[in-house]
Amino acid sequence: MIGMVMFGVALLMLMLGFPVAFTFGGVALFFGVFAEGMDLFAFMPYRIMSVMQNTTLMAVPLFIFMGVVLQRTRLAEQLLTSMGRLFGGLPGGLAISTILVGALLAASTGVVGASVVAMGLISLPVMLAHKYDKRLATGTICAAGTLGQIVPPSIILIILGDVLGLPVGDLFKAAVIPGVVLIGLYIVYILIMTRLKPETAPAMPDDSGLSRKQEIVTALLAIIPPLALIVVVLGSIFSGIATPTESSALGGVGAVVLALIYRQFSFQMVWDAARDTVKVTAMVFAILIGATAFSMVFSYTGGDYLLEEWMLQLPGEKWGFIILAMLVILVLGFFIDFVEISFIIVPILAPVAEAMGINMLWFAILIAMNLQTSFLTPPFGFSLFYLKGVAPPNVQTTDIYKGVLPFILLQMLVLALIVIFPEWFGMSSSY
Amino acid sequence: MRWIIKLDDGLAKLSTLCGWVACVALILMTLNVFYDVVARYVFRDVSIGMQEMEWHLYSVVFLLGIPYALRTDGHVRVDVFYTHWSDRTKAWINLLGALIFVMPFAYLIGTYGYSFAVDSFQMGEGSGDPGGLPHRWIIKSLIPFSAFFIATSGLGMATHALRVMSGEKTYEEKHSAEGLA
Amino acid sequence: QETFTLKMAETWGPNFPIFGEATKSMAEMAEKMSNGRLKIRIDSANKHKAPFGVFDMVKAGQYDMGHSASYYWKGKVPNTLFFTSMPFGMTALEQYAWFYYGDGMDLMQEVYEPHNMLSFPGGNTGVQMGGWFRKEIKSLEDLEGLKMRIPGFAGEVFAEVGVNPTNIAPGELYTALERNTIDATEWVGPALDLRLGFQQIADYYYTGWHEPATELQFLVNKRVWEKLPADLQEILRVSMRTAAYDMLIQSQHENAKAWASIKKEHPNVQIKTFPDDVFQAMYAANKKLLKEAAGNDELAGRIVKSLESYQEDSRAYTNIADRAYLNTMAEVEGDE
Ligand code: NA
Ligand code: NA
């Protein structure tokens, strides 16, 4: 019971806006000391130590570093300009090239913020200048940028791998098909929209002065670097040359090499990238430590057993549980972000899923798809904030909210497909 | 007020120092992991000592990064309401949060972390694996150190809030968790 | 009458077969025999999140009891190494004889006493298999530069003969072996190895030498032990001893079952024994390292001496009994 009250109090306190990590830690401290005494917190050093020795999570700072360095190579810019030239002449072409660039960036890194900001700065003004519908333009950018979290390598998948005890490489592999399907559906949606409402995404007149052949060559040249990185990172993981953590270091060094090739390298650049990485890493791990304290108090006061028993008795058994789990994650995703959900909610759901004989890999992909949606759902979707931060003033927050709606629906459609037809995605729902 | 400003500036420097060390550790860690993969294929060599160094550096990255991010407001907030509040309200929330949540939390981790590290020192604990690193108390003592710096950053959060309340400083308009994965 | 509830932390995750069953059966026995006066609540690693913090947590009193393996504490207290199993050491039966009728328990207590704990045998796996190799080891040269996951003292022995011992988290072991991040790994024996699926990716399953009788351990905080009334102490001691011995029996049962299924479903798996030169080199390396360890301090010297002399005497009898019988059987039935 104490656990449930603590949960409620923590959610209320979060709304005050104090940093999430310390709100969880602080609330846990009061309830823990009250229920079990100070000595409960003698466990904390052991728990922190097990995070310190956790080589799976070591991939988190390394992949972030790779993404941040990549952002500074101006790779996204080159891709967007050349792809825009290549497809811009078609109706909806700019939106489709945004999706394709988003997919390429997604497969070479896992950093959503960088992709959304880059596309918001480059792609959005071009689309708006060519009379694209604001909603379609902003929705496309947010959705394309968010692909980074479902297409491997991805921070969500690494964290889920750790929390659910699954090999991160297997999760990466399992996420490939859902990611590709999602990208395909985005493109299909844009094509249908441009058919139904041609005025929302008009073709762009060709004014680059380049011949078609030159356009193709520049586009190909721009695609080589991210492809090379994808081969190094995903290739080394899938072929077994390196563990995900090791390949993230290969990617980090690879990104620095790309910066050298693009003449963007400087020691200051690497240092700035390191600083940004440390900040984001610190934020993720602070939440992890706060969540650890919170879960510790929750489980030592018996909250986990209570919830577990309740969930095991849900009507509809496995399906009832899956629906509940997905709804809980979706709703919480409106308010808190994927890190808290992964570290606090998923560990409560996991043993129940296991007890019900659910295939954990499939379950993890469902959670990852669902968490991805939280990047797009107002009011706390990160992608929305990033885009609003760099969008011109005439783009209203409500435009962005309305713009992402169809993409949220597409994500939920894919989620539903994975639930109902796991075999289409190369998985099975149970063992 | 003058001494608060002085204290606040001093605390800010301390947090920046933590950030600096964490950045160095991050770069070293990237090189370390990179070297270990390359060494395995190129020199057919595996060193458990080097492998353990990876997580030693990684621990430095996040344990010293946390106090740094606290000072630079890098931690995620649920800012549905927060962004709309006045600087005064924000300052009150940060002041109370720092005193009620951050400091006691850091205190508990610090105390228990201290005996955790001392215990390791007294036992002369090292790696149990062939070729592993000795003196495990060094890396374990990072836990109380991190707690100490989280406390000083928390105190810095409080002094900063006082400066904002006095009208001498303002909170920068900036969405939290910038650049989140 | 007063009821005692002891909290026990185990190194294993929830529902871990064999090892986890040993703790559960121990707790059930203690509760039944004490008519409910002694309750043991088990926290698995998913709850306390510190699988290798069991030693510290029982020492500090955060848990009253622990279930783990003594050699995990070798980095903290080097002398704990000797109470699990030693390369080229005793078999389970010989080792139990050393613990219960030789000096084993006394020496173990001498090691744990300064840390405020009592240590009891906690269940034996029997002879652990020598590991899964993707390439056959035909001579000493084949070991040169081989990347193998093998922790602890055996890892040091392997290192002496040219192997590169590496550290891989259990969760990543299968993938690491499948993708040649490592060339070989040891785990436990057929029953537990089967769960990790090594039979699908490695063809050579080597016979054991490095952990001929891995004994797990129960730890009890000394103050907690002293608070228990004499009858409950005895109930706890008997429960631990029974559960430990029962784990050896269960290991035999489960391993035999698992081996039968590997043979049937994975005919690719071949049983191999290291060639002579490898064993000679490892035996010499082991002797040398043991001598170094014995020289470290006085207590280590006494433990090594006790182990060696007990093994010598005990083995002389095992040779004319078990071994002679198995040899006879092998001759009568022919090699299989
Ligand atoms: Na990605
Ligand atoms: Na073993």
In terms of Cα–Cα distance, which of B76, B174, C56 is closest to A291? B76
Q: Other C-beta atoms within 10 Å of A407: how many?
A: 22
Closest Cβ opposite residue A246 in set B37, B105, B176: B37
CA of B168 to the centre of ligand 2 (A): 64
Contact criterion met (CB < 8 Å) for C56 and B119: yes
Q: In what order do the strands lie in the sheet with C184-185?
A: C164-166, C147-149, C184-185, C131-133, C204-206, C270-272
d(CA A234, nearest CA chain C) in Å? 14
Cβ atoms of A333 and A370 closer than 8 Å: yes
What is the band of C277 on the pLDDT scale with cuts at 50, 70, 90? Answer: very high
Query: Is residue C160 classed exposed, middle or buried when 0-12, 13-18 and 19+ CB atoms within 10 A define those classes?
Result: middle
The structure tokens 């002094």 sit at B159
Q: Other C-beta atoms within 10 Å of C147: how many?
A: 21
Summarize the confidence of residues A409-416 as an average pLDDT: 95
pLDDT at C98 over 50: yes
Contact criterion met (CB < 8 Å) for B179 and A245: no
d(CA C172, nearest CA chain B) in Å? 15
User: Which residues lie closer than 8 Å to B147 by C-beta, 6 or more apart?
Assistant: B106, B107, B109, B110, B113
pLDDT at C251 over 70: yes
Contact criterion met (CB < 8 Å) for C155 and B116: no
In terms of Cα–Cα distance, which of C245, C19, C6 is closest to C121? C245
Across chain B, mean pLDDT equals 89
Q: Residue A51: its chain B contacts at CB < 8 A?
A: 62
What is the DSSP secondary-structure string of C211-258?
-TT-EEEEEEEHHHHHHS-HHHHHHHHHHHHHHHHHHHHHHHHHHHHH
Encode pLDDT of A335-386 as tens digits. 788 888 999 899 989 989 988 889 999 999 999 999 999 889 887 788 888 8
Handedness of CA C109, C114, C118, C119 (dihedral sign): negative
Among the ranges given (A182-186, A209-213, A382-386, B7-11), the one the predictor scored with the smallest mean pLDDT: A209-213
Encode pLDDT of C188-245 as tens digits. 999 999 988 899 999 999 999 999 999 999 999 999 999 999 999 999 999 999 999 9
Strands C4-10 and C65-69 come out as parallel
What is the band of A143 on the pLDDT scale with cuts at 50, 70, 90? Answer: very high
Please indicate if any CB of chain C lies within 8 Å of the CB of B168.
no
Summarize the confidence of residues C71-89 as an average pLDDT: 94
Cβ atoms of A336 and A143 closer than 8 Å: no
The enclosing H or E element of A275 equals helix A267-300
CA of C123 to the centre of ligand 2 (A): 14
CA of C104 to the centre of ligand 1 (A): 55
Q: Residue C179: its chain A contacts at CB < 8 A?
A: 169, 239-241
The partner residues of C220 in beta bridges, in order of sequence, read C65, C118
The partner residues of C124 in beta bridges, in order of sequence, read C215
Among the ranges given (A164-168, A173-177, C16-20), the one the predictor scored with the smallest mean pLDDT: A164-168
Touching subunits for chain B (3+ Cβ pairs under 8 A):
A, C
Across chain A, mean pLDDT equals 89
The partner residues of C148 in beta bridges, in order of sequence, read C165, C184
Tell me which of B55, B129, B136, B143 to substitute to probe the interface with C (most C C-beta atoms closer than 10 Å): B129
Distance CA A282, CA B69 (A): 6
Q: How high is the pLDDT of residue B179?
A: 45
Q: Residue A281: its chain B contacts at CB < 8 A?
A: 26, 61-62, 65
CA of A103 to the centre of ligand 1 (A): 8
* Residue A20 CA: distances (Å) to CA of A12, A366, C67: 11, 25, 36
Cβ atoms of C10 and C43 closer than 8 Å: yes
Residue of A nearest to B136 (CA): A49
Cβ atoms of A64 and A57 closer than 8 Å: no
Q: Residue C155: its chain B contacts at CB < 8 A?
A: 129-130
**What's the token pair of residue A193?**
């929209």
* Residue A173 CA: distances (Å) to CA of A71, A235, C89: 25, 11, 44
d(CA C189, nearest CA chain A) in Å? 22
Q: How high is the pLDDT of residue C174?
A: 86
Please indicate if any CB of chain B lies within 8 Å of the CB of C159.
yes
Q: In what order do the strands lie in the sheet with C117-124?
A: C38-43, C4-10, C65-69, C215-221, C117-124
Q: How high is the pLDDT of residue A208?
A: 66
Q: How high is the pLDDT of residue B181?
A: 47
What is the DSSP secondary-structure string of A132-162?
--HHHHHHHHHHHHHGGGTSSS-HHHHHHHH
Contact criterion met (CB < 8 Å) for C181 and B40: yes
Interface B-C, measured as beta-carbon pairs within 8 A, has a size of: 53
d(CA A194, nearest CA chain B) in Å? 32
Contact criterion met (CB < 8 Å) for B105 and A26: yes
d(CA C180, nearest CA chain A) in Å? 7
**What's the token pair of residue A28?**
């846990």
Alpha-helix runs per DSSP H in chain C: 19-33, 45-48, 54-60, 92-100, 104-112, 152-160, 170-178, 190-196, 222-227, 230-265, 276-296, 298-318, 324-333
Encode pLDDT of B49-61 as tens digits. 998 999 999 999 9
The partner residues of C69 in beta bridges, in order of sequence, read C216
pLDDT at A198 over 90: no
In terms of Cα–Cα distance, which of C95, C188, A62 is closest to B61? A62
What's the pTM value of the predicted model, to 2 decimals? 0.90
In terms of Cα–Cα distance, which of C47, C40, C42, C13 is closest to A299? C47
Q: Residue B139: its chain C contacts at CB < 8 A?
A: none
CA of A194 to the centre of ligand 2 (A): 62
* Residue C64 CA: distances (Å) to CA of A371, C22, C29, C33, C262: 40, 17, 18, 19, 40
Residue with more model confidence, A427 or A412:
A412
What is the band of C172 on the pLDDT scale with cuts at 50, 70, 90? Answer: confident
> What are phi and psi for residue C254, nearest 5 degrees?
-70, -40
d(CA C51, nearest CA chain A) in Å? 9
Closest Cβ opposite residue B77 in set A17, A149, A281: A17
Q: What amino acid occupies position A325?
A: A
Question: Residue-wise over C17-53: b if at least 16 C-beta within 10 A, else e?
Answer: ebbbbbbebbbebbbebbeebbebebbbbbbbbbbbb
Distance CA B169, CA B165 (A): 8
Q: What is the CA radius of gyration of chain C?
A: 20
What is the band of A431 on the pLDDT scale with cuts at 50, 70, 90? Answer: low
d(CA C238, nearest CA chain B) in Å? 31
Closest Cβ opposite residue B69 in set A25, A45, A282: A282
What is the band of C271 on the pLDDT scale with cuts at 50, 70, 90? Answer: very high
Question: Residue-wise over A281-314: b if at least 16 C-beta within 10 A, else e?
Answer: bbbbbbbbbbbbbbbbbbbbbebbeebeeebeeb
Alpha-helix runs per DSSP H in A301-393: 303-312, 317-335, 338-340, 346-355, 360-374, 382-390
Q: Residue A55: its chain C contacts at CB < 8 A?
A: 169, 172
Helix axis angle, A59-72 to A267-300, nearest 10°: 150
CA of B180 to the centre of ligand 1 (A): 13
The structure tokens 């095991």 sit at A312
Cβ atoms of A375 and A155 closer than 8 Å: no
Distance CA C112, CA C241 (A): 18
Encode pLDDT of A113-139 as tens digits. 878 888 888 889 888 988 899 999 999
User: Which residues lie closer than 8 Å to A255 by C-beta, 6 or more apart?
Assistant: A65, A66, A67, A69, A70, A73, A109, A229
Closest Cβ opposite residue C164 in set B46, B116, B124: B46
| Cα atoms found within 13 Å of the Cα of residue C114, Cβ hemisphere only | 11
In terms of Cα–Cα distance, which of C129, C178, C135, C169 is closest to C149? C169
Instruction: Assign C166 to helix, strand or coil.
Output: strand
pLDDT at C14 over 90: no
Q: Is residue A190 left, alpha or beta, with left meaning phi > 0 and alpha meaning psi from -120 to 50?
A: alpha
In terms of Cα–Cα distance, which of C56, C85, C66, C73 is closest to C26? C66
Dihedral (Cα; A288, A290, A294, A295), 10-degree rounding: 20
Per-residue HEC secondary structure of A223-258 comes to: HHHHHHHHHHHHHHHHCCCCCHHHHHHHHHHHHHHH
Cβ atoms of C156 and C232 closer than 8 Å: no
Cβ atoms of C277 and C137 closer than 8 Å: no
Q: Other C-beta atoms within 10 Å of C10: how many?
A: 28
Residue with more model confidence, C169 or C151:
C151
Encode pLDDT of C136-168 as tens digits. 999 999 999 899 998 888 999 999 999 988 877
Distance CA A172, CA A153 (A): 6
